[in-house]
Chains A and B, each alone.
Chain A
């Protein structure tokens, strides 16, 4: 039998432990549908065109090696020495494999081992909200759920990545599970506005929000910027067809421009062939018109969308960096379409950008490109 001293001690210990737990919060699993502590306040969504790249996040999944190897080799190899890249990978051997693929680097890689399946697409998993003040954490805002996670094991794993990162990088990073469904790539943010593709509204209306007005208010409150809902855009992530370069300047894809450039050249295999229909052209033009109406100076970029509506040869899917007065663009190129590559390079150079080319030949047929593979955690 326990003595009274032991019983008293156990009771006091349970009370003390319970008090600490109740103060700190409670929860578990991946954070979805669990009551967790109230998140700290967060600043606005990071601009994609302002500041120096400081911390990035990529995913490395070995089964996608053939898709991403060239992209990561070129991109990581071109990053500066003060950039830190967090590599989300299912296990440590995967991280070792990536370091071998990347070769000698100036930037620093660090592993975030998650022990569950993932896809290679870092961009869509979360959006980074800037620290509300010095010393406060960056907040990763993850969607309420991932589309198709019930039929797509890697996508179900993706759902946990925001929390995985916050665990690995605490206290500098925290994570919040949004009340809304979205992909990170559905948003394009600059220092003033965040452009949102209309399918985000479709995923949420009458499911998480009652009305369009409620949706826009919640989104602008959470992202800390004015929300511009793209009314008639291509049915894809925003970064596939537009990129803001700051100071109210926007680059928007133009299939007609792409068509004129490749008229005499051969195109690589695109599912269903290139889509130069007036309907598709109208969608890209509608984005350009909406940006112009919002006060942006619009420049058009060549783009070749395929008839499957998902595969694009795009030059808007870029990473932008600013350092020491220089403007740098990490720009995709594709084997076999050199006239198109050259034309896109010329547009970027005319805007004052230094080009760092990234070979995206093996990735674009999987419905995404460079910007879709890389998420930005911090800019200085």
Chain B
């Protein structure tokens, strides 16, 4: 190999390497990375009460936007070999920014809530349709929480005046936020983009 050949190879190699680095150098390289702490993988938020696992989704996975009355589906699965009963409280809330410069959104307001008794045979799974008779407000974050209803508690009536009811701890003990989406975007965020 002649010296000229070697010079050509080295020059082209250096130029190519530099261009590669300039083009593909990641913008956040020096900025850091993602936390590597392992966490449990959650496919779908699940409330467990008396051996019954309960999950929530929008009906047929469809999205609901401002002005629509959402349809929900509660799926309850008895994971035990015995009959099981539970009573679940389902609450739909909305919250929105007070203004674009406020530090946090307003406290959530309850739009609708219901106590639902669930009775299942051993290893039975049941899906229950829930029609929410409230129109979703625009530009809001919508959350649906599941919690075990208090024993002997009457089904709460809907709250048309939408008073803030979650200003305290927000959830009943052991409760979860089962579903979350925004009425700003067309797509329901559901659990994958929970905030």
Q: B28: which of A30, A148, A151, A210 is its contact (CB, 8 Å)? A: A30
The answer on a CB contact under 8 Å between A279 and B168 is yes
**A residues in contact with B32, CB < 8 Å:** 31, 36-37, 39, 139-140, 162-163, 166, 174-177
The answer on a CB contact under 8 Å between A218 and B106 is no
Identify the stretch in A254-262, A290-298, A365-373 within 8 Å (CB) of chain B at 4 or more residues: A365-373
The answer on a CB contact under 8 Å between B101 and A202 is no
Identify the stretch in B2-10, B68-76, B151-159 within 8 Å (CB) of chain A at 4 or more residues: B2-10
Q: Give the interface centre of B27, B107, B169, B185 by most chain A CB atoms within 10 Å.
A: B169
Identify the stretch in B118-126, B127-135, B176-184 within 8 Å (CB) of chain A at 4 or more residues: B176-184
The answer on a CB contact under 8 Å between A367 and B103 is yes
Q: Does A266 contact B (CB under 8 A)?
A: no
- Cα distance A31–B33 when bound, in Å? 7
The answer on a CB contact under 8 Å between B21 and A20 is yes
**A residues in contact with B102, CB < 8 Å:** 310, 366-368
One digit per residue, 1 when the CB lies within 8 angstroms of any chain A CB and 0 when it does not, for chain B 1-41 equals 00001001111111111111100111111111111110110
**B residues in contact with A67, CB < 8 Å:** 101
What residue of chain A has the Cβ atom nearest to residue B187's Cβ?
A: A150
Q: B42: which of A181, A206, A231 is its contact (CB, 8 Å)? A: A206
The answer on a CB contact under 8 Å between B168 and A235 is yes
The answer on a CB contact under 8 Å between A177 and B35 is yes
**B residues in contact with A34, CB < 8 Å:** 28, 34
- Cα distance A191–B16 when bound, in Å? 51
Which residues in window 200-239 of A have CB below 8 A to B? 202-203, 205-211, 214, 218, 221-222, 231-232, 235-237
The answer on a CB contact under 8 Å between B26 and A5 is no
- Cα distance A184–B184 when bound, in Å? 25
- Cα distance A342–B194 when bound, in Å? 43
Identify the stretch in A21-29, A46-54, A108-116 within 8 Å (CB) of chain B at 4 or more residues: A21-29
Q: A166: which of B21, B24, B31, B39 is its contact (CB, 8 Å)? A: B31
**B residues in contact with A26, CB < 8 Å:** 26
**A residues in contact with B46, CB < 8 Å:** 206
Q: Does A6 contact B (CB under 8 A)?
A: yes
**A residues in contact with B96, CB < 8 Å:** 151
The answer on a CB contact under 8 Å between B98 and A13 is no
Q: Does B51 contact A (CB under 8 A)?
A: no
**A residues in contact with B97, CB < 8 Å:** 148, 151-152
The answer on a CB contact under 8 Å between A151 and B104 is no
Q: Report the minimal beta-carbon distance from A249 to chain B, rounded to whole angstroms.
A: 26
The answer on a CB contact under 8 Å between A29 and B28 is yes
One digit per residue, 1 when the CB lies within 8 angstroms of any chain B CB and 0 when it does not, for chain A 1-29 equals 00101101110111011101100111111
**B residues in contact with A175, CB < 8 Å:** 31-32
Q: Report the minimal beta-carbon distance from A171 to chain B, rounded to whole angstroms.
A: 7
What residue of chain A has the Cβ atom nearest to residue B100's Cβ?
A: A154
The answer on a CB contact under 8 Å between A5 and B168 is no
- Cα distance A377–B76 when bound, in Å? 47
The answer on a CB contact under 8 Å between B42 and A207 is yes
What residue of chain A has the Cβ atom nearest to residue B39's Cβ?
A: A179
- Cα distance A37–B31 when bound, in Å? 10
Could you list 24 A-B pairs, sorted by A, with CB under 8 Å?
A6-B8, A9-B12, A13-B15, A14-B16, A21-B20, A21-B26, A31-B32, A63-B101, A124-B103, A141-B35, A151-B97, A151-B184, A154-B101, A177-B32, A179-B39, A199-B169, A202-B171, A208-B39, A210-B40, A231-B169, A237-B103, A310-B102, A366-B102, A367-B103
Q: Which B residues fall within an 8 A CB radius of A?
A: 5, 8-21, 24-37, 39-40, 42, 45-47, 95-107, 139-141, 164, 166-171, 176-178, 182-185, 189, 191, 193-195
Q: Other than the known A24-B25, A24-B29, A119-B103, what 15 A-B pairs have Cβ atoms closer than 8 Å?
A: A12-B17, A14-B16, A16-B17, A17-B18, A17-B21, A35-B34, A39-B34, A39-B35, A148-B95, A203-B194, A206-B42, A206-B178, A214-B39, A309-B107, A367-B103
